[in-house]
Copies of this chain bind each other. A is one copy, B any other.
Amino acid sequence: MTNLNAQWRLAARPVGLPNLSDWEYVEVAAAEPADGEFLVKLEYLSLDPAMRGWMNEVRSYVPPVGIGEVMRAGGLGRIVQSRHPDYGVGEQVSGMFGVQQYATSDGTGVNRVDTTLAAAPVYLGGLGMTALTAYFGLLDIGRPEPGQTVVVSGAAGAVGSIAGQIARIKGCRVVGIAGGREKCEWITDELGFDAAIDYKRGDLRAQLREQTPDGVDVYFDNVGGEILDEVLRRIARGARVVICGAISQYNAEQPTRGPANYMQLLVMRASMTGFLVFDFAPRYGEGIAQLAEWLSSGKLKSREDIVTGRLEKFPEVFLRLFRGENTGKLVLELIENEG
């Protein structure tokens, strides 16, 4: 019996915020695993701002998703057929399986999921790629020192919420920038950030001045745009600006807004450095072990913002990322289509 596979394929290059018509929903027969492959039935889809970038035809760190190809996404599921010597039916695994119900894999980039240690969605959140992004970006690129001031934008998002907590664990003063009172209260009251700045409240400049009296030693930027410019005005001598993302610009129809205050890098002998978590693959084990320890001791909290629904809901749930509607890691928990 062949399984029916539902897929979202890229249909067009979006201009601005993606529309439903930028993808095509199709139902096809699921591929049979070839020798050395296994078939995964997806249970959770990871929804990440970076996916928006993969839809553009530009020079980037991975090739763009081709028109007609299954939309690229991370996910987690259970092996339902296997012709691979190392993976057996019933095992749960995570990997870049795409926006579909069933995926075949030869095991490349696949990790095993042990739900006796943490619930499955945590492997997409607090133990997943977004947490590793926060871990290596903050510690290796930002290099915060105890007592320094660390500012994190997108602070209630999957990466920012972890980055800020790691900075706190390392003894820094941590200021998070997020949109709305609820998110701000969450990062201070639940996650232990020293302060939160609600950019929707306005007067970002005054709020930043108040919360960073000694300037900013590390800025972990997930958003770009005006917020990046305002934080640049506050950087301290020798500051490290970590470029992790620029969600404010991903759907811009105008050319990206560059940081007009970049000459503060000269004034303050500071640096702005981009990074990709993939370059740290040889050290994922170290990162996951440390994150797991912090999670189990309660020093680090991970929140997975789980939406449950059928695969058809993907576009609608994905776009919540760009409306600031998620808190923590956005995950789509898949309910199977009626047969």
Contacts and interface: CB of A to CB of B under 8 A. Distances in A.
Interface string A216-246: 0000000010000100010000000001111
Contact of A259 (B60, B259, B275): B259
Contact of A243 (B233, B257, B266): B266
A269 to B, nearest CB: 6
A68 interface: no
Nearest to A265: B274
Contacts of A257: 258, 260
Contacts of A276: 266, 269
A70 B94 CA distance: 67
A8 to B, nearest CB: 25
B266 A244 contact: yes
A261 interface: yes
Contacts of A59: 233, 264, 267
Nearest to A259: B258
A213 interface: no
B269 A279 contact: yes
Contact of A273 (B245, B264, B265): B265
Q: How large is the interface on A (under 10, 10 to 19, 20 to 34, 35 or more residues)?
A: 20 to 34
Interface string A260-286: 111111111111111110010000000
A224 B261 CA distance: 12
Number of copies: 2
B265 A243 contact: yes
Given A256-B261, A262-B243, A267 B229 contact: no
Interface in A105-120: none
A153 to B, nearest CB: 14
A320 B267 CA distance: 25
Interface string A293-304: 000000000000
B274 A263 contact: yes
Nearest to A60: B267
B275 A272 contact: no
A274 B270 contact: yes
Contacts of A274: 263-271
Contacts of A244: 266
B275 A266 contact: yes
Contacts of A261: 256, 258
Nearest to A270: B274
A85 interface: no
A248 to B, nearest CB: 12
A224 B262 CA distance: 10
Interface string A53-89: 0000001110000000000000000000000000000
B246 A61 contact: no
22 contacts: A59-B233, A60-B267, A229-B258, A243-B265, A243-B266, A244-B266, A249-B263, A256-B260, A256-B261, A256-B262, A256-B263, A258-B260, A263-B274, A265-B272, A265-B274, A266-B276, A268-B274, A269-B274, A269-B276, A271-B273, A272-B272, A272-B273
Cβ-closest 9 pairs across A and B:
A258-B258, A266-B274, A265-B274, A258-B260, A271-B273, A258-B259, A272-B272, A256-B260, A243-B266
